Structure 1
């Protein structure tokens, strides 16, 4: 991008080309620009935007600008967009604006995983700035139906995908304009509204991308779409530190950036949220309302009406700059876990914007040359139209938010009705669920006494009661939605995200519980059922508890040996006989390298953190099955897992495995790119994890190396498409169904050309929840309950499993639990294999048809990865 500042006015690329060279010389232009301009003259105008003018320049040229406010160009030392920015440069600029103007202040949404602070600029009038504390107090009452005449709150949020940088750069320009402009409409805006500007919602991915793009930008710009500048390395900058899509985490809140962002949302309770993205370079520009038939049924009609009224302002603004667009195709408004839809279920209007991406400085597209400066300008244009539209519709936006929460206020009842949920004895999972609800400001209570409903005991230590009557009632419905029928079966993302399935909850609805039986405080935790005596022989820990899997790596680090039970058993305890399931951990008190006292003290410190119930026994004699000294209690060997990374596998699913190993288990995990597999010494590792992918970097040599790894005692844990590669290279006896098999399920006879999209929608599994029937005696399923709900988003099942005792899970007869899945798939998956574990020499192959750590929110099934890590291959012998 070429941009000058002459007489304190921005000049765009097109203006630069029309300026007389003598006039340029008289303006004493910088050496940087002279060099770049000479290159442009030598190599043609492809390096600049051959447009007449830009919206940014038009506004600044016709505005009364406060010259004491630093421009982005003055801050950077070069024109905005000439280089891709780093996150620290943006934060520095926000701090500079804050120091220079009484209109501005800063707010923070915390830090990213790589400790980059997520700053937002708060822009409003001086008087509003002086009353921010009072305004925020009022905003905190919004959910109670108290919508006074406080300022309108508009949140413009950009670049949640790190490789969609035009938004962040536009945010720099809009921040300067709102801070420096003395235009009448801007002054009116800031008197009546608070504008929140968040330039970057994914700092870690943003910096990964900017480094890549800048590293491959030459002095002479290259527009070839295949050029290295436009083709990022693996992983791309789209995801965060753990390669996760931050725009799919608004509901699940598994990542630090998301938690800070949602807290920021509820703090300010905005009326309007603008969510700025980029899309493929051959498209034009998009803004919502999106496809009318693909709106979640819980979203109010008034929401969509207002979105369309706002769209008229975007249409007018883009028409004025002759930018073509589309607004009612391709993108939907269904999944509430995105930045444009989360506001819709929280009393605000969320609007998605998508700009064609240059993914660098410039690219050739089907419609001509696309430049980064053009992309920035479009995002700036719709940022302005969002502000003007919000002001024009201020009364409607305020009324909508007030009406959204009207009548939802909590009313004290002697026996309120609600949803009762249980984590089935797992206290740590209960804490995770409670934390999720708290962050979404959902009201809930703990139990004082055990409740019995539908043959399940809801215990104080594992249960929550969520009242129906509360401000966030719509969000509660969305989180536990189980619908399977839809007006339009096309989904941009998942069609279901039922939290009772993700957390593997026992649940009952429409229960009335006396207020006397409810409390807002979780009971204090005690790790031991009784004091550990000097005569203690062993400590037993039920594997059903989430924290049990987290404990294993800590025990190994402390040089404490631990076993697992390969069968259920019963044993006498101080409280009487007690039954334990397969997978139960046994920590023998007598160990060679530690005294009993040191061991017990060490374990006591570790288990408190994981909220683990520990049972001390004073005898090794069991009442049923095997005694504690039996060979059926197997030592868990220290493990050294390896994750295959690189272009041949999914970065998001690889990142989910990494997250689980790192943040959940605390287990060191090595990562090696697929193209380095042949040069790597695999004997250093105990397990190899392979996420969904084509494995096109793997050849016959890689297959031979992996076969030797398994036969020598290693374990391969692979999922989804990787299974087809294993099958093709004779590393898997069970046969996953081919892609061709699933295509033939759909009858295309008689379909006309316009029915192609409908057929594609049926053939797609965007994300539905299905049921698995587990063999609970198999070590891969220890600690789980059957049936088990998992998220399925790819056609995959085993057609043939001939080896006995290898089928660990099958899809249930009535396979679909919630979401959309074509009838053809439901019939094809029913009773087919889902999880297979095969012995190979001294090792094993664990084959998973689905991703069981989906977005790291599927806490009900993630334990299968720990079972593979700690119980394989020993549990198969």
Structure 2
């Protein structure tokens, strides 16, 4: 009897789960047979797809097994994530093609790059990418089934696809986020599935599984290449240059299913109209497949194809049809929605369905897709020929590290740049041949180049799903100029691509009076941090000076770091410094005397002893995971600084006296208790350094720690008159009141400690908020101010630009014994705004020099 009861319990449990799950074959067409020698996902995972959220290690293991068992599949490890997880790419085609895959790849790539005429016997190349957001897991789970279908499927349908085409399958674009979310969903799964949207299973804590290790949105990183996942993917993209690329996502549970095309008026102007027409042609097949399953869906709404840094849009800049799919998310295993109960298997099924319809639609439009790829290249040549601009001249003399990083991004996008044979004069400015490179427009990446150097400010449709500008030269604070046809005649360009520029590194001697390096290079903060880590005693110069060195008299700017031998230093100091100098590619000088040629002497009180900082980032629920992650990523990767991330709700129990600096990002701080707020105020007044950005800066102002005032929201609203508008114009009116991610110009006080290391007073910053910080009345408090006509590139309405004009961008002052620093913007935006991220280092290392009273 006991055995019967146990058996009955197991039966009821299985019956309950199976009510909302399927066998692996239930997801796939029943019209074809499957090779029994190829294991199904359940054979390896121990359960059918959809019963549990697959972990990344399980997913990779299944793909490895397929590659072992099927002669249609090879698997390549393309890189590793921040958490050391494998990034894998499957190449799937017929066994005959596998034996000749390198020749097929090279022949395809040659035609793509040259625009040579194609014929219908040429292969289509698919790049099937899944789940760039880790908490949108239906894509990665569907990838298991699509891989099985391609490995085991038998019959004319599969043969037609694989005999003369190549499928690249990227099963998880964000392994770290997928693993984080799978753990969350699985650990909260009940035996009796809970569909209540308020259940903990459906409510992730901070940070969500959407992001990668550093809490970045990887779907915004295709162009910026801040992370290893993106760099590995882009390398493979350019090795294959596919005809079709899919990008499988999820959206809110109460939605249905979306596939592109998106809103027609919101595509990037450099994307050909034929791209949209081919996307529509494939869309007919998605619609037919979803119709057959009686699924709800929509198109041409909400999403756009403007920003070239997204997964469905980056391909558009390369003659590839990028397609975004968005599935309503169960955010767990089962959830109540306005459309009824939505199960995890339901979400997976739709992603499987549209993966298969992508194959079917592309094969039906194969001739057009092949022709479009060739036409795209030839059109780029014609566009470049007819363009009044011949290219862009870039210059940076002092900061080789920052300039080289921009060049690396160009290289990874297959954009060529060349050295100059001699100095050039453009727009009354001389560009040194040694410090400049030229990026010609006459190359296959014409459209992408136009986009990343764009200064467009007006658009046919001013409503943007994401940012409206991503000008890399502005982001990196690199001087640049467009070169016209007439100016091109005065330019002498080398025939070979330019190399990375490196500084000449002097050999250090052991008999120095002191050693020193300038603060102008992007990696200078990292070198200073390494000195602290090695217990090397330093002084930081508050003002500029010139000193006698083994290379003659050298000028050192304010912020330069000096290592005096008069202080207690580690053994073999010169050897250690030489190693660090070589590693950072920053010249460290041997200083021969404490008596300087000009400016302060090395024993001056203005050579300050700045103790090693201990930095806290305030994170956790209530704060922006993106901004906190960006600050963490910058300090961890670019400065090498160990930082503590303290959850907001733990601040009251944390001994904050242990920290010298606090970084506060955008967030909602209204729920902090009075005692915690008082504790923070006491900490800063006793000597702490409080650093805020965006809405945190506004909160500092409300607490009167920051002695500056923000414009009232009612005043901002009054600048916009919508009285004469009709109901249909409400969305366009709302778009005028927001800043769609644009570049603005500020004037930076380079004599201020926060401006140390900067050479130019005009500094581009990124803005995506409409807060306006009024100019403080007290002198020496404003570090940077927006110019009279501040919009450089991207969309902001005339009304918003007028409100921002001449307002404050950065404010810093003393508060009793401490310091408060407020940024209106986010200096670390998406990890690529190198021109302003240095400001955060200055706010940490140079804060001791801020003495203006608020």
Normalising by the residue count of structure 2, what TM-score does the alignment of the two structures yield?
0.93
1:681 pairs with 2:658: no
- C-alpha deviations, 1:484-509, integer Å up to 9, x for none? 01000010100000011111111122
Structure 2 CA distance for aligned equivalents of residues 314 and 324 of structure 1: 12
- Sort the Cα spacing of 1:309 and 1:197 in 2 relative to 1 into closer, same or farther, 3 A: same
Q: Do 1:564 and 1:584's aligned partners in 2 also have CA atoms closer than 8 Å?
A: yes
1:542 pairs with 2:518: yes
Q: Within 5 Å, give how 1:217-366 maps onto structure 2.
A: 217-366=189-338
Corresponding position of 2:413: 440
Q: Within 5 Å, give how 1:857-868 maps onto structure 2.
A: 857-868=832-843
Q: Do 2:516 and 2:562's aligned partners in 1 also have CA atoms closer than 8 Å?
A: yes
* SS of 1:621 mapped into structure 2: coil
- C-alpha deviations, 1:111-142, integer Å up to 9, x for none? 11111111122221111111111112223322
Over aligned residues, Cα RMSD in angstroms?
2.5
- Sort the Cα spacing of 1:523 and 1:661 in 2 relative to 1 into closer, same or farther, 3 A: closer
2:505 to 505, 520, 527: 527
Structure 2 CA distance for aligned equivalents of residues 55 and 824 of structure 1: 56
2:561 to 563, 582, 585: 585
- C-alpha deviations, 1:290-330, integer Å up to 9, x for none? 00000110101111111111111111111111112111110
* SS of 1:746 mapped into structure 2: coil
Q: Do 2:126 and 2:243's aligned partners in 1 also have CA atoms closer than 8 Å?
A: yes
Q: Do 1:769 and 1:791's aligned partners in 2 also have CA atoms closer than 8 Å?
A: yes
Structure 2 CA distance for aligned equivalents of residues 873 and 646 of structure 1: 28
2:492 to 511, 514, 520: 514
Q: Do 2:407 and 2:500's aligned partners in 1 also have CA atoms closer than 8 Å?
A: no
- Sort the Cα spacing of 1:540 and 1:229 in 2 relative to 1 into closer, same or farther, 3 A: same
Q: Do 1:791 and 1:850's aligned partners in 2 also have CA atoms closer than 8 Å?
A: yes
1:137 pairs with 2:137: no
* SS of 2:834 mapped into structure 1: coil
CA drift of 1:780 comes to 1.1
- C-alpha deviations, 1:21-63, integer Å up to 9, x for none? xxxx9xxx999972324547xxxx9x637xxx99963744221
Corresponding position of 2:744: 770
Structure 2 CA distance for aligned equivalents of residues 539 and 140 of structure 1: 52
Corresponding position of 1:372: 344
Query: For structure 1, which segment, 790-799 or 627-636, has the greater mean C-alpha deviation from structure 2 after superposition?
Result: 627-636
CA drift of 1:533 comes to 5.2
Q: Within 5 Å, give how 1:20-419 maps onto structure 2.
A: 34-39=11-16, 48=20, 57=26, 59-141=28-110, 142-146=112-116, 148=118, 149-406=121-378, 418-419=391-392
CA drift of 1:627 comes to 2.0
Q: Do 2:420 and 2:493's aligned partners in 1 also have CA atoms closer than 8 Å?
A: no
- C-alpha deviations, 1:455-513, integer Å up to 9, x for none? 65544654322122111121111111110010000101000000111111111222543
Q: Do 2:404 and 2:500's aligned partners in 1 also have CA atoms closer than 8 Å?
A: no
2:635 to 661, 682, 695: 661
CA drift of 1:580 comes to 3.4
- Sort the Cα spacing of 1:258 and 1:264 in 2 relative to 1 into closer, same or farther, 3 A: same
Structure 2 CA distance for aligned equivalents of residues 607 and 464 of structure 1: 25
Q: Do 1:447 and 1:517's aligned partners in 2 also have CA atoms closer than 8 Å?
A: no
Question: In the comparison of the two structures, how many residue pairs are matched?
Answer: 835
Q: Do 2:260 and 2:323's aligned partners in 1 also have CA atoms closer than 8 Å?
A: yes
Q: Do 1:423 and 1:503's aligned partners in 2 also have CA atoms closer than 8 Å?
A: no
1:746 pairs with 2:720: yes
Query: For structure 1, which segment, 645-654 or 795-804, has the greater mean C-alpha deviation from structure 2 after superposition?
Result: 795-804
Q: Do 1:717 and 1:847's aligned partners in 2 also have CA atoms closer than 8 Å?
A: yes
- C-alpha deviations, 1:428-480, integer Å up to 9, x for none? 11221121111111111234655454465544654322122111121111111
Corresponding position of 2:846: 871
1:565 pairs with 2:541: yes
1:490 pairs with 2:463: yes
* SS of 1:322 mapped into structure 2: coil
Corresponding position of 1:505: 478
- Sort the Cα spacing of 1:534 and 1:233 in 2 relative to 1 into closer, same or farther, 3 A: closer
Structure 2 CA distance for aligned equivalents of residues 36 and 632 of structure 1: 75
Q: Do 2:24 and 2:42's aligned partners in 1 also have CA atoms closer than 8 Å?
A: no
Q: Do 2:260 and 2:279's aligned partners in 1 also have CA atoms closer than 8 Å?
A: yes
Corresponding position of 1:730: 704
Corresponding position of 1:802: 777
Structure 1 CA distance for aligned equivalents of residues 290 and 668 of structure 2: 41
CA drift of 1:679 comes to 0.7
Structure 2 CA distance for aligned equivalents of residues 461 and 56 of structure 1: 63
1:421 to 394, 397, 404: 394
1:854 pairs with 2:835: no
* SS of 1:622 mapped into structure 2: coil
* SS of 2:806 mapped into structure 1: coil
Give ranges in structure 2 of 5+ residues lacking alignment. Answer: none
Normalising by the residue count of structure 1, what TM-score does the alignment of the two structures yield?
0.91
Give ranges in structure 1 of 5+ residues lacking alignment. Answer: 1-24
Structure 2 CA distance for aligned equivalents of residues 78 and 128 of structure 1: 33
Query: For structure 1, which segment, 490-499 or 504-513, has the greater mean C-alpha deviation from structure 2 after superposition?
Result: 504-513
Q: Do 1:419 and 1:509's aligned partners in 2 also have CA atoms closer than 8 Å?
A: yes
